[in-house]
Amino acid sequence: MSRLFLLSLAMVSGLSFPAMADESESQPNDKPAETVAQPQSRSAAVPFVFTSSSMGFSVGAAASLQGVLQERSQLVAVGTYSENDSYVAFLGAYNLHFGDSGRWFVDLQAFDARLRESDVYIDGNPAFDSPAGAHGSDVNNFVLGEESQRDLYATLRYVLPWGAGKHSPQRRSRVVAGIPVAPEDGEQVGAYTSVEFEPFYRERKVEGFDGFYQKDKTQGVSLKLDHDARDFIPSPSRGHRLELQLHRDFGSGERSSYTKWEAQYSQYLNFGANRWSKQQVLALTAYTSDVPTWDSGAEGHRPPWFAESTLGGWNRLRGYQGARFHDRSAVFYGAEYRTIPRWQPQGAIPFIDRYYFPWWQFAVYGELGRVNDSYDLGELHKDMDWTVGFGVRMWVENVVARVDWGFSEEESQLRVVVNQPF
């Protein structure tokens, strides 16, 4: 379970969450949206129910308060409790800004959960001698038990005065009913570059039903450079994005220090409209990560299992459970075809017509990826794990709700989350 899971619960409940501080809002009419972001005041609180393998039948509530602390800020709270005494709780404050330049933004997030029955791919299953979670590891090599999670993040973001952000940090997105308008001849999608500084704390505790016990944590800082030339952040149709991120845990007497880096590049190709589709997009992405301190010193300087280079879950190798694969390094490639059909019947459906819901989108995708115990590009591209699947995305209250079905050689996964995978 992750931050994204909590946000997905709120999305199913009909709440709206911020995409980014510099993103303009879509307009429900047939005219292009204003190019300068306009603040909206909207608050909601709703109950919900759901079921999952780790929690069983659960009830909860979610609340969103916009413009309470600052004009464009948003507070989000989600809490759930289940029949097997599991719980999840999330609290976030977004788009807090300070400074006369208007270029500084802060996001704060806190997450706490206890899952009474969870499959965790870590060493500890007495039936296996090989490492759990490694490439080629057995699908049954996991620890079954209670998993506790706690995550704290404080993200400080500065939009650099370069490119499209030279004169203003506010993104200029021209959209009609949630679909970005094609640029005029010769017009280029502007690129915004930002840097982020993020102190973090993450903790996992696993108590197996057979008496197994393991507690791991990591705390440190992350630095990120984000070069973003997408035409519409929630669901891009043109442009590209490059993300470079460095994580550092300086260690202590109870945990090892380590350094990890990640890089991801995404490209979006717009194939236009036709008789049956309002929009066709081919989205491509490539990702890699490594822990260069893995073998440093006598014992190595390695992160806990959940902070290693991981594959499986909501965004990478979606046909596998979250963190199904984890090791020193990883590579991943994804391709996704997305189309918005002209057939959009939701506006005539009772109750649903109460929400701003201008489009739904169909997607098919394929993915390749692998983890390895060294950063060897040749080895990382051998015998890669794969996922194929399809999904439906819905632009509801200025948020992309995503339903994905992913299939792999081990299993299939159905997920309801928010945001495009890339």
One-letter amino acid at 402 equals: R
In CATH terms, 3-418 corresponds, of 2.40.50.140, 2.40.50.100, 2.40.160.50, 1.10.10.60, to 2.40.160.50
The set of long-range contacts for 179-183, using a CB threshold of 8 Å and a minimum separation of 24, is 179/237, 179/278, 179/279, 179/340, 179/358, 179/359, 180/231, 180/232, 180/236, 180/237, 180/238, 181/32, 182/270, 183/231, 183/238
According to the model, what pLDDT value does residue 44 have? 62
DSSP 276: S
One DSSP character per residue, 340-394 reads EES--GGGGSTTGGGS---EEEEEEEEEEEEEESS--HHHHTSS-EEEEEEEEEE
What pLDDT is stored for residue 273 in this prediction?
A: 94
SS3 184: coil
Taking a C-beta distance cutoff of 8 angstroms, is the pair 303, 251 a contact?
no
40: pLDDT strictly greater than 70: no
Averaged pLDDT, 292-302: 85
Task: Report the distance separating Cα 132 and Cα 289, nearest Å.
Answer: 19
Q: What is the mean pLDDT of residues 231-236?
A: 94
Domain segments of the chain as ranges: 3-418
Hey, which residues does 239 pair with through a beta bridge?
268
pLDDT digits (tens, 9 = 90+) for 373-413: 999 999 999 999 999 999 999 998 777 889 999 999 999 99
Backbone CA torsion sign across 395, 7, 313, 381: positive
Instruction: State how beta strands 309-311 and 277-290 pair.
Output: unpaired
Is the pLDDT reported for residue 31 higher than 60?
no
pLDDT tens digits, 250-279: 999 889 999 999 999 999 999 999 999 999
- Nearest CA to 59 out of 100, 9, 97, 17 is that of 9
Distance between CA atoms of residues 251 and 254, nearest Å: 8
Q: Which of 62-66, 149-153, 213-217 has the lowest mean pLDDT?
A: 62-66
Instruction: State what percent of residues in the chain have pLDDT above 90.
Output: 64
Query: How high is the pLDDT of residue 346?
Result: 93
Using DSSP's 3-state secondary structure scheme, residue 11 falls into helix
Report pLDDT for 14: 38
Rounded to whole angstroms, how far apart are CA atoms 310 and 302?
13
Residues 50-72, mean pLDDT to the nearest whole number: 80
Give yes or no for residue 24 having a pLDDT over 50: no
At 343, the amino acid letter reads W
pLDDT band for 219, please (50, 70, 90 cuts): very high
pLDDT of amino acid 29: 42
Please tell me the predicted confidence (pLDDT) of residue 22: 40
Task: State yes or no: pLDDT of 192 exceeds 60.
Answer: yes
Q: pLDDT band at 9, cuts 50/70/90?
A: very low
Name beta bridge partners: 195: 158, 225
CA distances to 145, 240, 281, 418 from 139, in Å: 16, 36, 34, 27
d(CA 120, CA 137): 13
- Among candidate residues 129, 45, 39, the one with its CA nearest the CA of residue 79: 45
Cβ count near 128 (within 10 Å): 14
Least confident of 8-12, 107-111, 157-161, 232-236: 8-12
pLDDT at 18: 41
Q: What is the rounded average pLDDT for all residues in the chain?
A: 87
